[in-house]
Amino acid sequence: MDILLVTLNAKYIHASFGLRYLLANLGELRGRAGLMEFDIHQRPLDIVEAILAREPRIVGLGVYIWNTTETAEVAAALRRLRPELVIVMGGPEVSYETDEQAIVQWADYVITGEADLAFADLCRRLLAGEKPVERTLAAPLPDFSQLELPYDLYTDDDVAHRVIYVEASRGCPFSCEFCLSSLDIPVRQVALPRLLEALQRLLDRGVKQFKFVDRTFNLNLQTSRALLQFFLERHRPGLFFHFEMIPDRLPEALREIIARFPPGALQFEVGVQSLDDEVCARISRRQDVARLEQNFRFLREQTGVHVHADLIAGLPGESLTGFARGFDGLIRLRPQEIQVGILKRLRGTPIKRHDQEWGMRYHPHPPYEVLETRLIDFASMQRLRRLARYWDLFGNSGNFVESAPLLWARQESPFAAFSAFCDWLYDRLRRTDSIPLVHLAELLLTYLHTVVGLDAHAVAEVLWKDYQRGNRGRCPEFLRQYLPEADVKAGAMRTRTVAAPKRQARHLRG
């Protein structure tokens, strides 16, 4: 095999969308190329062994923020074992500030930007015996009319076991300084007939979950409405569609069709990031908060959409108090999930212009999270990190839909209440992961009873109801002492099937 495309995914279930685009656009070289996917939990030397067993002449490595360290180990070993092997790197992580990165020392060539066509051109030159003088090659921005779509390269195994990524557009018209998409201008659209044909083939092959990677799916009303109508007309139980949405843009033409989807079929990832107008202006983020709030109320009150909202901690000039206000405001809007993220200083983004004024100090290694700012010291940022992890367990998982809100039912600020719970948890556990669900539930009962002062029997009833959301029949022993035996037996017999992924389904079950 002359050309081997390789990447390390964060998890097995993630299929590399970028590598499939590269393979699809190799033209006449496609028959001389292959694709190998690994994940970051595999041993680097085992990955190297598998790569070398294919005896490639050229290896293309996809480098991302989540796999940089592991990919560097693989590349270093390949270079030592096979000096004649041509190593080509590409991907978002090496597309900016390229020369400053240690990983590129192991590469013969680095392609920056969208390499869909540039990688094929480089391979043609290399296989013809030509060696470009320039080591770093900037890829011209391709238009979709130039590209072969990669969807037929998803294998039957991918369809059965992996997330299927699709896109209707690339780029973003906004200039949020923390985001790489703000550098990807202009927005380019896939020709709708081509895309719909590809989507139909995926449906015919049995794909049930589609994840659109467009940063601004609802930017182009005509395209977004056409796609939603396409899926609605073909909807059957078990189909699930994920879209990233602009939070303040939801016109009536979209509302009407969104409301017609059954509960659990749609998930909108809504990038709120901050509800503070001053902070948003500082990072060049345009957002109409009043309209955002109206759209949230519509989605939660009049549709069955699963709303996943993103909120960023550590933005320049935002204090802990300011972040708490945003968190509390988002809680009142009732998205099913709030993804609390810590600000990352992604390579190439202009967020670094605030470093001196706001005392922004970032970790030097991936994922480059902010360590402290002038307004949030390191100790407070660590508490926010723990809050983010605990919130994912209690607020987002769907395991504590009714019981977690009991934490702040008697308090004005959900953030303050949950922060106190997080401190209490960490004092006892000294960790934020690998905690069994039963233990989490027992800790929540203990806290609500002994610290908040709620009646243990009343809390146990709510926890038992939540526990059954995962179709779990056996009542945990710690709950039995607080529940009537009849309720325990009735709950053990009660099951309900919801046509949505497990995590989203738990939010739907009553």
- Looking at domain 163-376, its CATH class is alpha beta
Helix axes 221-233, 192-204, angle to 10 degrees: 20
**Strand 188-189 relative to strand 169-170, pairing:** antiparallel
Transcribe 222-242 into DSSP letters: HHHHHHHHHHHHT--TT-EEE
Positive or negative torsion for Cα 471, 473, 477, 481: positive
SS3 200: helix
Rounded Cα distance between 130 and 433, Å, is: 51
Centre a 10 Å sphere on the Cβ of residue 416 and count the other Cβ atoms it contains.
14
What DSSP state is assigned to residue 452?
I
DSSP E strand stretches across 10-139? 33-39, 58-62, 86-90, 109-112, 136-138
CATH fold for the domain made of 3-144 = Rossmann fold (3.40.50)
Encode pLDDT of 139-183 as tens digits.
999 999 999 999 999 999 999 999 999 999 998 888 899 998 777
φ, ψ dihedrals at 291, nearest 5°: -70, -35
Rounded Cα distance between 138 and 4, Å, is: 21
SS3 196: helix
Using CA atoms, how far residue 88 sits from 61, 111, 124, 235, 284, in Å, is 6, 7, 13, 42, 35
Judge whether 60 and 2 are in contact, CB under 8 Å. Answer: no
Residues 6+ apart with CB under 8 A from 66: 10, 40, 366, 367
SS3 102: helix
* HSE of 214, CA atoms in CB hemisphere, 13 A: 25
Rounded Cα distance between 425 and 430, Å, is: 8
Q: Domain boundaries in the chain?
A: 3-144, 163-376, 382-510
φ, ψ dihedrals at 339, nearest 5°: -85, 105
Residue 425 CB-density burial (10 A; 0-12 exposed, 13-18 middle, 19+ buried):
buried
SS3 assignment for 115-149: CCCHHHHHHHHHHCCCCCCCCEEECCCCCHHHCCC
pTM: 0.92
| Per-position pLDDT tens, the chain of length 510 | 899 999 999 999 999 999 999 999 999 999 999 999 999 999 999 999 999 999 999 999 999 999 999 999 999 999 999 999 999 999 999 999 999 999 999 999 999 999 999 999 999 999 999 999 999 999 999 999 999 999 999 999 999 999 999 999 998 888 899 998 777 668 899 999 999 999 999 999 999 999 999 988 998 899 999 999 999 999 999 999 999 998 899 999 999 999 999 999 999 999 999 999 999 999 999 999 999 999 999 999 999 999 999 999 999 999 999 999 999 999 999 999 999 999 999 999 999 999 999 999 999 999 999 999 999 999 999 999 999 999 999 999 999 999 999 999 999 999 999 999 999 999 999 999 999 999 999 999 999 999 999 999 999 999 999 998 887 778 999 999 999 885 676 665 555 566 678 788 888 865
SS3 114: coil
